[in-house]
Amino acid sequence: MIDTPMWPSDAVRWRDDLAKRGEVRYIINTHHHPDHITGNYFFPGTVVSHEEVKEMFHAPITGKASAQPVDETAEPPLGLREHILDEIKERDPGGFSLMEHYFLKVPTITFSEQLNLYMGQHIFELIHLPGHTSGHIGVYVRPEKVFFAGDNFTNGVQPLLSHSLPLEWISSLKRIEEMDIDIVVPGHGEVCGKSEIQQFRLFIQKCIEIVSEAIKQGMSKDQAANEISLEELYPAIHPGPEQERMNILRLYEMLSK
């Protein structure tokens, strides 16, 4: 099973290492963001995801299929493949030559709420946990009690909120906290135990409280995005002012409904 942020240079190293250990049977995409699906192409195996993630493989880049800001005046909008190629040029220029024959390796098994994969003595429980994105999933591995959180939990890294469902995210994090977990593999950051998830949840809750208070005080969406800073709330790598602005705009939009 593979779900980790990777660009082409990472993927070929993982592929060569995993080939020494055994066959890759399944690739599980926790969500649709390019850093979590681009690597599908480089591995054998069947891609599995939530049904909403599969839909995003075919969506134009209109703000839904990417975590990045989009020029909505551009005609025509980029497809996901073209967007990924542009991302690779910027983020992994050394790996761009590996993309000559690149195509989107799309999920061929999808589910809505839960799917179990039985592999020898292992059970992989794929669970719909909306939050970071609406189609986000987590993967619980038994009997090892290992949980792959995707970007619902980014350890020591402030997450992207620009596609989030903030209230559902809190519910999903509480659900994870109630699970019998020994090891958590975050979408970004170091592997850790379950206790770190609570601190992360409190950060998301604080973000919600701050933006909700701004709405209550009558701030406009642009005013909130210009004046609110979340940088000091979580001792973590900060996404930068542009992404933070997008984060606050998303929170404002969702909390105003």
Asked whether residue 106 is assigned to any structural domain, the reply reads: no
In angstroms, how far is CA 255 from the centroid of its own chain?
Answer: 21
Asked if residue 125 and residue 208 are part of one domain, the reply reads yes
pLDDT at position 70: 42
Q: Which residues pair with 150 in a beta bridge?
A: 186
Asked if residue 192 and residue 69 are part of one domain, the reply reads no
Q: What does pLDDT average to over the chain?
A: 90
Asked whether residue 2 is assigned to any structural domain, the reply reads: no
pLDDT, tens digit (0-9, with 9 covering 90-100), for 34-53: 889 999 999 999 999 999 99
pLDDT at position 149: 98
Asked whether residue 236 is assigned to any structural domain, the reply reads: yes
- Higher pLDDT pick, 66 / 151: 151
- Dist CA 253 CA 135 (whole Å): 19
Flag whether pLDDT at 181 surpasses 80: yes
Asked if residue 139 and residue 47 are part of one domain, the reply reads no
Confidence of residue 7 (pLDDT cuts 50, 70, 90): confident
Q: Which of 157, 192, 187, 190 is nearest to 4 (CA)?
A: 187
Flag whether pLDDT at 176 surpasses 50: yes
Asked if residue 119 and residue 231 are part of one domain, the reply reads yes
Asked if residue 160 and residue 117 are part of one domain, the reply reads yes
Asked if residue 165 and residue 235 are part of one domain, the reply reads yes
As for how many domains the chain has, the answer is: 2
Most confident option among 54-63, 111-120, 236-245? 111-120
Asked if residue 233 and residue 206 are part of one domain, the reply reads yes
Confidence of residue 62 (pLDDT cuts 50, 70, 90): low
Asked if residue 220 and residue 159 are part of one domain, the reply reads yes
Asked if residue 21 and residue 95 are part of one domain, the reply reads yes
Domain containing residue 93: 8-99
The pLDDT of 131-135, averaged and rounded, is 97
Asked whether residue 105 is assigned to any structural domain, the reply reads: no
- Dist CA 5 CA 35 (whole Å): 5
Asked whether residue 174 is assigned to any structural domain, the reply reads: yes
Among positive and negative, which fits the CA dihedral 88, 89, 94, 95? Answer: positive
pLDDT, tens digit (0-9, with 9 covering 90-100), for 64-106: 444 444 444 444 556 788 888 988 998 889 999 999 999 999 9
pLDDT at position 161: 95
Number of H helices, E strands in the chain: 8, 8
pLDDT, tens digit (0-9, with 9 covering 90-100), for 184-232: 999 999 999 999 999 999 999 999 999 999 999 999 999 999 999 999 9
pLDDT at position 1: 52
Confidence of residue 59 (pLDDT cuts 50, 70, 90): confident
